[in-house]
Structure 1
Amino acid sequence: MPRRNPARERAPQRKKAHHPDAFRCVSCRLDVPMIAPGTAHRNHCPHCLTSLHVDHRIPGDRRAACRGRMAALSITVRPDGEWLLIHHCQSCDELSANRIAGDDNALALLRIAMRPLSAPRLPLPAWAG
């Protein structure tokens, strides 16, 4: 009886499933649906809030040449109360503001929003303490 050589036996390679209605997050590797409640152009993962640098000037234009990973840096709030994520591109250093979506991880958003309060980077005056 011939011996089996495990080095020659390889697991069949899976083909990547292409879903035009979803993308795979570059950070947490979860599949993310393109449709997002509260925004017309999803551009970040609702789980880890990481994005890709795909838009140039207009949300949804997908004209950025960089395609670098964008980390969620901070939160800002519009006068009407809408929250925006500030993303920082790890490749070209550009900043961008992106609307949050209704299914974004609320705990991750609050952690980012609380960063300035938990570890201030600027020295506070004595009277503010």
Structure 2
Amino acid sequence: MPRRKPERRRPQRRKDVLHGQGGAPGDAFRCVGCRLDVPLVAPGTAHRNHCPHCLTSLHLDRRTPGDRSADCRGRMAPLSLSVRQDGEWMVIHQCLACGELSANRIAGDDNVLVLLRMALRPLSDARIPMRALLAL
């Protein structure tokens, strides 16, 4: 079977996101889940959109990351993980206020234990027969 050429990934554009009081650019934000101060600089991504410790986010963006045009402003709970075709992991968040789903790239400093716990969650669910998971 011939090997596929590695796809050139387009670098992510830097976004000017306003996190400070009154629309000022800030250098950190406070997580709504664990209440830790989170720096905006994230390895592996140009835009941090969730806490690296508990993976909780806020429903701020509507269509594109960094647009800050969502009206909801609800807490986004980490629901599941997804993997792109190029192997990049995505955290699936669900807004606890309006129910909207969104996919966010993981950052290099995200808590690996929390990510693995989410990835292994289907294996620990007694309602899903192990035969069905092994058949995938």
Q: Same fold (TM over 0.5)?
A: yes
Higher deviation after alignment, 82-91 or 57-66: 57-66
Partners of 2:128 and 2:71 in 1: CA distance: 34
Q: Does 1:88 align with 2:94?
A: yes
Partners of 2:131 and 2:107 in 1: CA distance: 36
Partners of 1:53 and 1:25 in 2: CA distance: 12
Give the superposition deviation at 1:51: 0.3
Partners of 1:120 and 1:64 in 2: CA distance: 37
Give the superposition deviation at 1:123: 5.5
What secondary structure is seen at the aligned counterpart in 2 of 1:66? coil
Q: TM-score, normalised by structure 1?
A: 0.79
Partners of 1:121 and 1:55 in 2: CA distance: 34
Q: Does 1:107 align with 2:110?
A: no
Identity among equivalent positions (%) equals: 71
Aligned residue for 2:64?
58
Q: Does 1:116 align with 2:116?
A: no
Partners of 2:30 and 2:123 in 1: CA distance: 32
- C-alpha RMSD of matched pairs (Å): 2.2
Residue identity in the other structure for 2:119 = A
Gap regions ≥5 residues in structure 1: 1-16
Give the superposition deviation at 1:97: 0.2
Give the superposition deviation at 1:62: 1.1
Aligned residue for 1:21?
27
Aligned residue for 1:36?
42
Larger radius of gyration: 1
Q: TM-score, normalised by structure 2?
A: 0.75
